[in-house]
Amino acid sequence: MRAPFRFTTVMLVMALLLSLFGAAAAQDGVTLRVWTGSSSPVENEFKEAQVAAFEAANPGINVELLISPDYGAQIRAAFASGDYPEVFTVGQFDFPQWQSDGLLATGEAIEAPEEIYMGLKDAFTADEQLYCAPKDFSTLALLYNIDAFEAAGVALPTSEWTWDDMAAAAEALTTDDMVGFSAAADKFRWMAFFYANGAEIFDEEGNVAFDSPAAVEALEFYQSFVANGTGNLPGNLNSGWNGEAFGKGAAAMTVEGNWAIGYLNDTFPDLNWGVTEIPLAPNGGRATLTFTECWAVSSRATGELAEAAWALVNFMTGPGADGAQAVAEAGFGVMPARAQFADTWLEMVGQEYEAFVTGASYAVAPIFPLGYADFDAASNDATTLVMTLEEDPADALADAADVAREIQEELE
Amino acid sequence: MADPAQPTAAPAAVAAAPRSTTKAQQRFSDALAGLFFVGPGMLVLFVFLILPLLVALYFSFTNWSGTRPLDQPNAYEMVGFANYQRWIIDGRRVDDFYRAVRNTLYYVIGVVPVQTALALVLAAIVNQKWLRGKSFFRTAFYFPSITSSIVVSFIFLFLFSSGGPINTLIRAVNPGYVPIAWTTDNTGLGHLLLSQFGIVRDTLSPFIRTEVLGLQLWDWIAGPSVALSTIMALAVWTTTGTMMVIYLSALQGISPSVYEASQVDGATGWQQFRFITLPLLRPTTFFVVTLGLIGTFQVFDQIYVLQNDQTARTTTSVAYLVYSTAFEGTSPNLAEASAIAIVLFLIIFVATLLQRRFVGGDRAEA
């Protein structure tokens, strides 16, 4: 249905690129250094193919691609020296720091930014300016073991499920060998419930609200599974993370992202599982968390180099056939950042994973503002203490919120 | 470095000196030649050891995030002792720092004596003349040391997982056994012991909640957690072999005539060990304990593999804290990590000095 549109877009992009780089191609050419972190072999090959396609389409531009297994440390050393690549990936958690360090060029050149999911753009926006182009993203959803539900005679979860439904199901599913819910002691899991319940880190007046009644209620709900034995931490289920506990059949439900699709299907081919949206909060609220990465251009790239860099970024993330569409068609764990290709991605991976895509429309990127590192650490601590049943959710959140308040006072 | 200029340089320097050299002049040219020879080594040491240390010291007094390019104006500001204050004196992170110090101390105190004693015993055993299959035992004991610590850590993770071989084995012997979550249990052994006598925090006077260096007294007496103890067992298992080899070579260096002489005097086997072997091994013990201290204070890789969200509070070591502050989390900070690293350096330095005083490396070496 989109073929004519796709074709014209491709032609337009090509025309644009050719007109932009006609001059560059005529000369000796430019060399772009492009750095990114290493992920699965399939994704690394995909990035290499994208770059090769770009080079083929732009004879005047050479690309030196570095896929680093220790990206964080390597790019930081490059930043420190001041001699860093023209194009590189930025994770949502690094963005506030790197942006304030002046490492990133502003993203006026990003093609058709209106097609990119709002939540992803928010993650890479500072002072109302979008800096870099989201590459792809993941959201959290509720994974459930269909066989376990059927064996226990519990109706399968739906997108209309509430917290109460989830708690009741967890109780019914808990047996000697399996708990209802695998609940990692990770704030980037329970905060999906936090946002769903209407809680925020800062309220509308900008006051710290991390310990609001809604926040406490969310953490109490998440902790209740461990407290009443209908759930457990993955470590106590003989597993390194939620996905493993769920795959092994040690837990009938868990909250994880779309990265779990490939892992579960490869490692546990016999697992009969489904996925639905995170259950509705008592007030009917809905939320999930999103995790994303973008391709950014160095603030030090100027002139021809900057043009070439943006051309590459648009080539890899734009609406063209080699950009977001290719991400969708590759059909691996991550989803394309542009909404119009969500269907393509689902066709590739399977319609049963629709909940991950649905979540994108209301997903929140959990980001702690710059200067709040201590609060970040304190909220991790609070999560651990609550999930190991050493502290009460209200006290733990109050302690963490006090740290945020102290920082806020200092910053003012 | 094979520098062809080097070997000829010293004689040339000597030859160049006038025939009527005074003692002082001779000494000076000797010193010059000496410097010339150690020069390349000193240079390497300076560039790769001393310079980074000084740079780390310098940055620990700045607010440099680690990502802002240093050639940029205002890349960082000098903030004096602010980073030290934040982490070590009375800032917001003192509890994290001293918790890591506490974990590291437990680790050092638990691992060093055990691995030293065990290494000595093993070395003494495999050094016996009557032992058959000596080389088998020597290899077997040394084997864990030459295996990558990351690999060994993963093996331990598997062995000690809650449904793993260790728990299965214990359950086979004792069917009533409730499986221990070896790698994820945060309960301190000290607390566990106290609870056997019905003592928990709430039964003690409120004095136990007094905060000392960011932690309640109750937390200071927690003892290593079950998870940390598992990591300690792993450390003992992997490093004992190396220490054993060091002891073994020292044992073989002791002249048999000393033992023969003592036999003539009617010394028993135990007396020989106590009054001959042990004193003669003193420099080796000093060496082994020093290595052990430095290695355990810097423990990183086993922690990196074996810890998780659940156990972070009871397993994080100071060296791991340096790493996580510099590279992990949502806002890494190199200046703060440098400050912690400098303090870790001071701790190790002081510990080695103290140890030198007590084990007496100097006297023994003489």
pLDDT in tens, A67-120: 999 898 899 999 999 999 999 999 999 999 999 999 999 999 999 999 999 999
The DSSP bridge partners found for residue A293 are: A91, A136
Confidence (pLDDT) at A238: 83
Q: What is the pTM of this model?
A: 0.84
- Pairwise CB contact (< 8 Å): A82 & B332: no
pLDDT in tens, B87-97: 998 888 998 99
Q: Give the pairing type, strands A273-276 and A133-145.
A: antiparallel
The two structure tokens encoding residue B182: 């070896």
Shortest Cα–Cα distance, A101 to chain B (Å): 5
The model's confidence at residue B12, banded by pLDDT at 50, 70 and 90, is very low
The model's confidence at residue A4, banded by pLDDT at 50, 70 and 90, is very low
SS3 letters across chain A: CCHHHHHHHHHHHHHHHHHHHHHHHHCCCEEEEEEEECCCHHHHHHHHHHHHHHHHHCCCEEEEEEEECCHHHHHHHHHHHCCCCCEEEEECCCHHHHHHCCCECCCCCCCCHHHECHHHHHHCEECCEECCEEEEEEEEEEEEEHHHHHHHCCCCCCCCCEHHHHHHHHHHHCCCCCEEEECCCCHHHHHHHHHHCCCCCECCCCCECCCCHHHHHHHHHHHHHHHCCCEECHHHHCCCCHHHHHHCCCEEEEEEECHHHHHHHHHCCCCCEEEECCCECCCCCCCEEEEEEEEEEECCCCHHHHHHHHHHHHHHHCCCCCCHHHHHHHCCCCEECEHHHHHHHHHHHCHHHHHHHHHCCCEECCCCCCCCHHHHHHHHHHHHHHHCCCCCHHHHHHHHHHHHHHHHHHHC
B183, B309, B331 member nearest A373 (Cβ): B331
Confidence (pLDDT) at B1: 39
Q: Which has the minimum average pLDDT: A12-21, A383-392, B107-116, B233-242?
A: A12-21
Half-sphere exposure of B191 (CA within 13 A, CB side): 18
Q: Give the pairing type, strands B215-216 and B211-212.
A: antiparallel
Confidence (pLDDT) at B82: 93
- Pairwise CB contact (< 8 Å): B330 & A93: yes
The model's confidence at residue A398, banded by pLDDT at 50, 70 and 90, is very high
Instruction: With residue A232 as reference, give the H or E element that holds it.
Output: strand A231-232
Cα B33–chain centre separation = 37
Task: Say yes or no to pLDDT of A359 above 70.
Answer: yes
Which residue of chain A has the CA closest to B328? Answer: A72
What are the phi and psi torsion angles at A326 (to 5°)? -65, -35
Contacts of B311 in chain A (CB under 8 A): 235
What are the phi and psi torsion angles at B5 (to 5°)? -70, -25
The two structure tokens encoding residue B155: 């093996």
The model's confidence at residue B14, banded by pLDDT at 50, 70 and 90, is very low
Question: How confident is the model over B128-145, as a mean pLDDT?
Answer: 85
Integer Cα distance of B269 and A47 in angstroms: 70
The model's confidence at residue B2, banded by pLDDT at 50, 70 and 90, is very low
Confidence (pLDDT) at A264: 94
The proportion of chain A whose per-residue pLDDT surpasses 70, expressed as a percent, equals 93
The model's confidence at residue A5, banded by pLDDT at 50, 70 and 90, is very low
- Residue type for B143, please? F
Confidence (pLDDT) at A265: 92
Shortest Cα–Cα distance, A322 to chain B (Å): 31
A243 contacts A263 by C-beta, under 8 angstroms: yes
Distances in Å between the Cα of A175 and the Cα atoms of A124, A171, A383 are 44, 9, 26
First to last CA, chain B: 33
The model's confidence at residue B179, banded by pLDDT at 50, 70 and 90, is confident
Q: Interface of chain A against chain B, CB under 8 Å?
A: 72-73, 76, 79-82, 84, 93-94, 96-98, 101-103, 184-186, 233, 235-238, 240, 367-368, 370, 372-374, 376-378, 380-381, 383-385, 387-388, 390, 403, 406
Residue A370: DSSP 8-state: T
Question: How confident is the model over A176-185, as a mean pLDDT?
Answer: 94
Question: How confident is the model over B42-62, as a mean pLDDT?
Answer: 94
Integer Cα distance of A309 and A316 in angstroms: 11
Tell me if chain A has a CB within 8 Å of the CB of B163: yes
The DSSP bridge partners found for residue A136 are: A293, A336
B340: nearest Cα among B328, B316, B322, B326:
B322
Confidence (pLDDT) at A336: 93
Which residue of chain B has the CA closest to A96? Answer: B331
Higher pLDDT, A193 or B307: A193
Question: How confident is the model over B232-238, as a mean pLDDT?
Answer: 92
Confidence (pLDDT) at B343: 95
Task: Say yes or no to pLDDT of A203 above 60.
Answer: yes
Question: How confident is the model over A247-274, as a mean pLDDT?
Answer: 94
Confidence (pLDDT) at A3: 44
Task: Say yes or no to pLDDT of B19 above 60.
Answer: no
Confidence (pLDDT) at A13: 55
Which residue of chain B has the CA closest to A384? Answer: B310
